[in-house]
Amino acid sequence: MYFLIYASTARPHLDEAELNRLVSRSEQFNASVGITGLLMRDGDRLTQLVEGPEGAVRDLADRISKDTRHSGYTVLIEGPTAEAAFPHWSLQLASTDRLARLESKDDPIRVYLKAVRSRMSNHRHRRAIEHLLEFESPPAPIG
């Protein structure tokens, strides 16, 4: 099992309808190759955690890095992990309206992220989940 978090900037033409089409196609593809994860969008800022078999994650990361719907692709953290943080989400989307609700400690995604963080045995994976919980902060590589 391998995980990777990247950040990038959405191009202006990546509107909500196009993003929803992308997520729909990605859910099907991800499920077929054993990948799970969470994509967060705040305005033009994107952050995604991808996890699954190492080869599948690396192949997907390579495809994502070349996608013209965003720019500034930067891997923040990656590495092996013993378990998936999101075993039931082939791709979950949290966009601006959802992120506003993440301010609430009772938001289901926030509650889930905290539960995931508490059960992660891999220190780097826990830090990756913390990064998602602190999505309002500017992204920076995690060392």
Q: Locate tokens 């994509």: which residue?
A: 39
User: What is the predicted pLDDT for the residue at 65?
Assistant: 94
User: What is the predicted pLDDT for the residue at 59?
Assistant: 95
User: What is the predicted pLDDT for the residue at 138?
Assistant: 40
CA distance 58 to 119: 25
User: What is the predicted pLDDT for the residue at 142?
Assistant: 46
Question: Measured between alpha carbons, how far is residue 14 from residues 22, 41, 43 in Å?
Answer: 10, 11, 10
User: What is the predicted pLDDT for the residue at 122?
Assistant: 61
pTM for this prediction = 0.71
CA distance 14 to 65: 15
CA distance 100 to 107: 10
Q: Give buried/exposed letters for 73-83 (b at 16+ CB in 10 A, else e).
A: eeebbbeebee
Q: What DSSP string describes 79-115?
A: EE-SS-S-TT-S-EEE-HHHHHHTTSTT-HHHHHHHH
Average pLDDT per consecutive 10 residues, the chain (143 residues; last block may be shorter): 88 79 86 89 82 95 91 87 81 63 56 63 66 53 46
User: What is the predicted pLDDT for the residue at 141?
Assistant: 45
User: What is the predicted pLDDT for the residue at 34?
Assistant: 93
